[in-house]
Every structure is written in structure tokens, then in C-alpha cells.
Amino acid sequence: AQSVTQLGSHVSVSEGALVLLRCNYSSSVPPYLFWYVQYPNQGLQLLLKYTTGATLVKGINGFEAEFKKSETSFHLTKPSAHMSDAAEYFCAVSRTGANSKLTFGKGITLSVRP
Amino acid sequence: GAVVSQHPSWVICKSGTSVKIECRSLDFQATTMFWYRQFPKQSLMLMATSNEGSKATYEQGVEKDKFLINHASLTLSTLTVTSAHPEDSSFYICSATFRVKSVNEQFFGPGTRLTVL
């Protein structure tokens, strides 16, 4: 079985500050890991993903995440927050293979203060 | 590329009526589509996996007679909420699977807001 833990429900940062959203996963097999962003009343947009290879993954909008197997973590970071980053962020895990069923974390709301 | 649409984007219906939501992959063929339900301020809950030409696989606790899923073609899956009640009010999101660099990746539709009066 797989699971994702996103601690906390809300993170607030100032514009220009570092963004750090934490994600820990549990998986019995090598996982594929994803971060999605959701703006109000919209679907999910993929920010970045880790499948194999380089453990530091760069995504869209200046976000990146590092897969740390020893810590079972896949934390999302951005050096400098922008007002437009305010949204809901979901970490997700899936098994490798043909069935790409995703298991989502509960999500975390990012607020950006002017 | 890999665009997924949903129709309608929002719908209001009376209790007891049925509502059909369409999910289309616009520029690719998707053998697998997924249907999710999302309550306010909560995560996505997978309802069912829809495979083209076969019966959908429902997650535990999801009533298959309540939420009818049809995946008649490689670009279209439909979710019908039968005899809708206020507790069925929710945000329904579909996704379609497309292979990107040997990895099956889900592309999400914009969601459908269902309100049952």
C-alpha cells in the first residue's frame, strides 16, 4: 500500500521568501512522485515529477523537489515566492508500471503575503 | 498537448434527477481515465478507474449503481450521477492517462462543480 503525508494544512510566506512544502511518502516499491498545483475551482496542473534518475527535479514556475529515499521525502521548494504561487499543492505517489493510479496527500494551502 | 476537457463546468440540478458529466481527451487517446471527487478544502478521492471498452473498477465504498461510468471510446468517458441528492454535491475531476517518456502520466480536466438542490 502507498500513502502520502503532507504535514500542516496551511503555509504562509512573504513575497520573495523561500517556499518549502513538505511531503513524505510510504511505498513498498520504488515510487513515482508528483507535485500538483490547484487553483480555485480548477483541475490539477503538474508542477514536476520524479520517476528515475536525477533526484533533484526541476519543474515549472521555478519549483523544484528532491527525492530522498533514505528520508522517504519529496519536499517542494521555490527560492522566491510570487503572489501568483498562492494555491493548493498536492503531493502524490504512484507505483511504477502500467496502472498509474495516484495516491494523493491531503494537500496544503500556500498563501503569499505582499 | 495532452489536454483534457470536462463538460459541463458546473451544473445545478434538483434532487432525484440524474446528471451526466463528460470527460474528453482532446489531442490524445487515453485507454485509462480516472474519476475523482473533491470536497471543499480536501484532497482528491479516487472514485473509479475507467478503461476503454470494459467495465469501470470502483474504489471501495463507491456505489457503482449510483455513479455510472462509461468509457465508450478512447477519447471519452462519462460519469452519470443517478438520482442525485444534496450529499452528492461536490467537485468532480477526471484525468486521462498519456504515456510521457515511458511513464504513464495523468492529465487532469478542469473539474465539474455539481450542486444538488
pLDDT in tens, A30-70: 889 999 999 988 889 999 999 888 999 999 999 999 999 99
Does A68 reach chain B within 8 Å, measured CB to CB?
no
A90 CB neighbours in chain B (<8 A) are 43-44
Does B60 reach chain A within 8 Å, measured CB to CB?
no
**Cβ–Cβ below 8 Å for A105 and B91:** no
DSSP A6-75: ---SEEEEETTS-EEE--EEE-SSPEEEEEEEE-TT--EEEEEEE-SS-SEEE-GGG-EEEEEGGGTEEE
| pLDDT greater than 70 at residue A98 | no
Dist. CA B39–CA B81, nearest whole Å: 16
| pLDDT greater than 90 at residue A19 | yes
**Per-residue confidence (pLDDT) for residue B45, from 0 to 100:** 92
| pLDDT greater than 90 at residue A88 | yes
Q: Give the closest residue to B36 by CA, choosing from B75, B1, B6.
A: B6
- Over range B85-98, report the average pLDDT: 94
Instruction: Dihedral sign for Cα A84, A86, A87, A92, please.
Output: positive
> Shortest CB distance from B111 goes to which of A42, A107, A109?
A42
**Cβ–Cβ below 8 Å for A90 and B44:** yes
Does B110 reach chain A within 8 Å, measured CB to CB?
yes
Dist. CA B30–CA A75, nearest whole Å: 30
Measured in residues, chain B has a length of 117
Q: CA of B38 to nearest chain A CA: how many angstroms apart?
A: 10
Phi-psi region of A82 (alpha: psi -120 to 50; beta: other; left: phi over 0): beta
- Which residues, numbered 90 to 109 in chain A, qualify as contacts with chain B under a Cβ-Cβ cut-off of 8 Å? 90, 98-102, 104-107, 109
| pLDDT greater than 70 at residue A7 | yes
What residues have CB less than 8 Å from B73, skipping those under 6 apart? B52
> Shortest CB distance from B110 goes to which of A43, A51, A99?
A43
